[in-house]
Amino acid sequence: MEYSPPPLFKQGASARVKMTVFACISIALLLVDARMRTLTTVRKAAATVLYPLQMAALLPRDAIYGVGDYFSTLSSLEKQVRELKRQQIAGALVLQQAQLQTAENNQLRRLMAAREHLPVKSMLAEILYDARDVNSRKVILDRGTQQGVALGLPVIDNQGVVGQVTRVFPFTSEVTLLTDKEQAIPVQLLRNGLRSVAYGRGKSGALELRFTAPNADIQVGDIVVTSGLDGVYPAGLAVARVSQVENSAAGSFGGVVCQPLGGISNNTQLLILMSTPEMPPRPPDEETRALKKHNNKMAPIKEAPKEGVEPAAPAAAAPANNAPPGLMPVMPPPAPKPAPAPAAGAGTGAGTPAAAAPVAAPATTAAAPAAAAANGQPAPAVAKPKEPAR
């Protein structure tokens, strides 16, 4: 049984004929367009008419691509922002370290410049940390007894005095700052040389000149330097600047407030002066002088006997002129002199020269009992001198 469309649907030529005709038309149009360029205008007009339709057809695709690009771009931008922030933080840290190193280098240069002008030897030290006692003003340095640090050494910076070493350990040392309440330093005004003592005021970070006369020549802005009277700080080191002068109308003393010139709280390196100024020997006290002067007026000072030398026997009292010539106790003279020979033919007046000769002869024998008594031995017998012939 043959199947074929009904007669109603049978129209025109067959499909094979139609394909052949359309193929020939297409080839002809291609040849005409290639040779004569006659379809260019038609093509442009068709593209113009169909452009809105093309854009409308591409909208879903562009929307999908745009959403994908948006999220990918957002993710990449977030990564870039995080990376830039990290780089910014790292750069800020590097910048801060560079600024800190620059400040430290500048401070070290100033310290080295100040070190060259110091009259004594100094040592560079770094502040490790503040003391644990919040009621005191102290810092800990990285130098100790192993580096030659001793108690009482002054500590300065390039601007002035900072404090004094009050405790020493093998590898560290404790420095009490000028502003501590227990710290005092002899000072004088640079302008007129007025001397005083500066005391710390604790947490306020200032110094005070106590017990100053109400009419003292002190002005705001005066520079206060060390006087060198304590034997610890060299004279002429800057200490503070007068910031306030308090004159009490009722009291007999006034108060002067000063601000330290040294970097009390903003230093990282300090200079330790390794020696204190030499002081002249202390003069003797006035009482000792007066006592020595009084003793010199009363009696001469006897020297102590040397070892191996026996003390001399006490001198006997001077004999009276009316004692018998042969019984006078006579001390041995330093160098006995021979008695002069009596003159011949002397009369009654020659009795005195003749009687003087036996006096010098028994001098040695008369001193023997005294020497024996001093040595603890029995005294030898002494021969009685003969009376001179009349």
Do the domain assignments include residue 37?
no
pLDDT, residue 288, reads 59
Q: Are 360 and 336 in contact (CB under 8 A)?
A: yes
Residue 26 lies in a domain: no
* Closest-CA residue to 178 (of 108, 233, 123): 233
What is the rounded CA–CA span in Å between residue 156 and residue 276?
13
Which of 154, 204, 160 lies closest to 179, judged by CA?
Answer: 204
pLDDT at 294: 54
Tens-level pLDDT at each residue, the chain (390 residues): 556 666 656 666 778 888 999 999 989 888 887 887 777 888 888 889 999 998 999 899 888 988 888 888 999 999 999 999 999 999 999 999 898 888 888 888 888 887 777 777 888 898 998 877 777 889 999 999 999 999 989 998 888 899 999 999 999 999 999 989 888 999 999 988 899 999 998 888 889 988 888 788 888 999 999 988 888 888 888 999 999 887 655 556 777 899 998 887 778 889 898 876 665 666 566 555 655 655 555 444 454 455 555 555 544 444 444 444 433 334 444 555 555 555 444 444 444 433 334 344 444 444 444 444 444 455 454 444 455 444
Domain span at 214:
122-273
Residue 380, both tokens: 């030898």
Q: Quick check: helix, strand or coil at residue 243?
A: strand
Q: What is the pLDDT of residues 338-363, one digit of tens each?
A: 555 554 444 444 444 333 343 444 44
Residue-level pLDDT at 223 = 92
Residue 4's pLDDT is: 66
Beta bridge partners of 165: 175
Separation CA 108–CA 131 (nearest Å): 24
pLDDT at 373: 46
Q: How many domains does the chain have?
A: 1
Task: Name the residue among 389, 342, 337 with its Cα closest to residue 363.
Answer: 337
Does residue 322 lie in a domain region?
Answer: no
Answer whether residue 155 is part of any domain: yes
Task: Classify residue 219: in a domain, yes or no.
Answer: yes
Q: What is the pLDDT of residue 315?
A: 47
| CATH code for the domain in which residue 244 is found | 2.40.10.340
Whole-model pTM?
Answer: 0.50
Position 86 scores a pLDDT of 93
What is residue 95's predicted lDDT score, i.e. its pLDDT? Answer: 92
pLDDT for res 358? 39
pLDDT at 43: 81
